[in-house]
Amino acid sequence: SLSKNNLQQSIKIYPNPVTGKVTIECAKCSQPLKLLNSLGQEVMEITLKSSKEIVDLSALNKGVYFLVYAQEKLRMVTKVVVQ
């Protein structure tokens, strides 16, 4: 089973800050990831079809977003800056 440390190490997001497309790597992600704005509203749901996915964020307004991944009782939040 996953621990919080394993989960944190298993999700890579780059480049960050993002200017268009972002690469999300996660070999152990079986659930969709949610991208929330600074108000906590979901702006995008990202389903990874492979362990490495390129996601286009160019339609989003500039600002700070939070990529949330939850699996079992674990929850990981990563700050993503869109420029």
For the cut 90, the answer to whether the pLDDT of residue 3 exceeds it is: no
Q: Are 65 and 82 in contact (CB under 8 A)?
A: yes
The pTM of this model reads 0.86
- What are 9-59's pLDDT values in tens digits? 788 999 999 999 999 999 888 899 999 999 999 999 999 999 999 999 999
pLDDT of residue 27: 85
Return d(Cα 78, Cα 76) in angstroms, integer: 7
pLDDT of residue 8: 66
Q: Are 36 and 42 in contact (CB under 8 A)?
A: yes
